[in-house]
């Protein structure tokens, strides 16, 4: 039997819109895919985890923030070509509220993955944006008509 390497399989990530007034929490990525682009907090979906559980875990691991009222928003299908090795990533976008008690501020808990976290005006976002987020800007409004 011939030694054949397996085909690459899609990876699943969860990205979380955390909103404050008309601003959204973003950080500058330090990973190989999307290096130096601005992205939402999030990470890889683990086996057996719900989207909500992943959003809750990843936001806390990356920013130290506790979140609540987690809801599904949308999904994007993305293929990245890096150094001849494509990566197929399905990104599940969620919306959540930062828990009000106690008053929380984002911390940069994973400095190897992100330079810092800050709140940016949705109508004046920093550039460049991470590809999956960029797909949504202009065609999608994360701000619900009702408060979450």
Q: Which domains, from first to last, does the chain contain?
A: 11-136 (3.90.79.10)
36, two tokens? 């130096």
**What is the pLDDT, as a whole number, of residue 57?**
98
Residues with Cβ within 8 Å of 40's Cβ and at least 6 positions away in sequence, in order, are 15, 16, 17, 18, 24, 25, 26, 93, 130, 133
Assess contact for 119 and 20: CB atoms under 8 A. Answer: yes
Q: Give the pLDDT of residue 52.
A: 98
Q: pLDDT 10s per residue in the chain (148 long)?
A: 556 656 778 999 999 999 988 899 999 999 878 889 999 999 999 999 999 999 999 999 999 999 999 999 999 998 888 756 788 999 999 999 999 877 789 999 999 999 999 999 998 999 999 989 998 887 777 776 666 5
Q: Could you tell me the pTM of the whole model?
A: 0.88
């Amino acid at each position: 039997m011939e030694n054949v390497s397996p085909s690459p399989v899609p990876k699943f990530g969860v990205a979380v819109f955390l909103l404050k007034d008309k601003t959204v929490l973003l950080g500058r990525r330090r990973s190989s895919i999307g290096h130096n682009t601005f992205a939402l907090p999030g990470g890889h979906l683990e086996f057996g985890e719900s989207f909500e559980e992943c959003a809750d875990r990843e936001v806390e691991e990356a920013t130290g923030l506790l979140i609540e009222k987690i809801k599904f928003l949308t999904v994007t299908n993305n293929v990245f070509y890096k150094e001849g090795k494509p990566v197929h990533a399905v990104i599940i976008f969620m919306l959540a509220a930062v828990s009000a008690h106690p008053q929380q501020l984002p911390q940069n808990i994973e400095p190897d993955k992100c330079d810092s976290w800050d709140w940016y005006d949705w109508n004046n976002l920093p550039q460049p944006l991470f590809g999956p987020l960029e797909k949504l800007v202009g065609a999608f409004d994360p701000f619900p008509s009702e408060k979450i």
